[in-house]
Structure 1
Amino acid sequence: MTPAPIIRPATLADAETITEIYNHAVAHTTAIWNETIVDVQNRKDWITERQGAGFPILVSENAEGHVTGYATYGPWRPHEGYRHTVEHSVYVHPDHQRLGLGRHLMHALLTKAEEAKVHIMIAGIDASNEGSIRLHEQLGFQASAPLPEVGTKFGRWLDLVFMWKKIEG
């Protein structure tokens, strides 16, 4: 059995590995619908901006001290009425997938959301990503109706499922 990872706040020193994980998702998956590869400075700026706005970025670290994944949340929509709702992301390095790291990161992220008194957490998931949908269901997220063909990547239309969880009453 894989030992539980260390989960800690990200630092700028983690930007290189976060960039690698992010760019792998961009280039090879529909977990993120961006198509632009970013550089390390882009992720450093993102870390600084996200943390400066009071949002967490957590990383998982293995026994050797290598970052194996990350999770974060930020605003769902820009209007004040949505200020108690966040949307999250969780990504695991391709060499460390299917080891339960996403679940560990999500548990830690949900704890941060509780501490911040977040009301609702949302996940936007490619409808064909059965593993992510199953993980979110196991964590207590509920699915809303899929939105057909609202995105495109790799030359095909993608359906989006929003999943949500009530964090704070």
Structure 2
Amino acid sequence: MMTWIECGPEHLEAIRAIFNDAIAHTTALYEDEPRSSEFMETWWRLKQQGQFPVIGALDEGGTLMGFATYGPFRPHPGYRFTLEHSIYVDARFRGRGLGRRFLERLIESAQAQGYRTLIGVIDAENRASIRLHERLGFSLCATLHQVGFKFGRWLDVVMYERVLS
């Protein structure tokens, strides 16, 4: 049993824990330092100001299994209809199809808000995320070589786009 929610401030610590696990153990985020509570408060305020959803999924015990959100692709006015999205699933709940369900919800939300394009910026070695995006109609639009450095090695980024109908 799972419940979909719009995350609130009461979920920030759980969101921060998911972010910090991804920072420490994956290349989903090209960050080295854990995110602080202060960072998360600013992150939350910007989501609220921009009217960007933070969609969550709770298990039957009320544990946040993951979350998904989007925000501006770039800050310039000409990009105002383009979003960059992100999906993070708690390591304990991966492999259950949550990523797909989150991405489907993000697509629906972005369409309902009148946005035109969603962009996914993905570590080039993250085959699962790449397959997910391709299955939901995203196409490769860019490869950026050796733009990230983490865990002692250079990392490539791929960008996937979907024009919304």
Per-residue CA deviations over 1:110-133 (Å, capped at 9, x if unaligned) read 111011111000000011100000
Between the aligned partners of 2:7 and 2:144, the Cα distance in structure 1 is: 33
Between the aligned partners of 1:157 and 1:80, the Cα distance in structure 2 is: 32
Q: For residue 29 of structure 1, what is the aligned residue in structure 2?
A: 26
State the 4+ residue runs in structure 1 displaced beyond 6 angstroms: none
Number of aligned residue pairs: give it. Answer: 165
Q: For residue 132 of structure 1, what is the aligned residue in structure 2?
A: 129
Between the aligned partners of 1:86 and 1:35, the Cα distance in structure 2 is: 24
Q: Does 1:7 align with 2:13?
A: no
Letter in 1 for 2:66: G
**Percent of residue pairs identical:** 39
The answer (yes or no) to whether the contact 1:7–1:105 under 8 Å persists in 2 is: no
Q: For residue 54 of structure 1, what is the aligned residue in structure 2?
A: 51
Please give the secondary structure, in 1, of the residue aligned with 2:20: helix
Between the aligned partners of 2:114 and 2:77, the Cα distance in structure 1 is: 16
Please give the secondary structure, in 2, of the residue aligned with 1:146: strand
Between the aligned partners of 1:50 and 1:136, the Cα distance in structure 2 is: 23
> TM-score, length-normalised on structure 1?
0.93
The answer (yes or no) to whether the contact 2:142–2:160 under 8 Å persists in 1 is: no
**One of 29, 42, 45 as aligned partner of 1:45:** 42
- Unaligned residue ranges in structure 1 (runs of 5+): none
Please give the secondary structure, in 2, of the residue aligned with 1:91: strand
**What does residue range 101-120 of structure 1 map to in structure 2 within 5 Å?**
101-120=98-117
Between the aligned partners of 2:66 and 2:83, the Cα distance in structure 1 is: 20
> TM-score, length-normalised on structure 2?
0.95
Q: Does 1:151 align with 2:148?
A: yes
Per-residue CA deviations over 1:46-82 (Å, capped at 9, x if unaligned) read 1122122211111111122111001000000111111
Letter in 1 for 2:101: H
Letter in 2 for 1:6: T
Between the aligned partners of 1:7 and 1:110, the Cα distance in structure 2 is: 15
Letter in 2 for 1:26: I
Between the aligned partners of 1:9 and 1:25, the Cα distance in structure 2 is: 21
Letter in 1 for 2:12: A
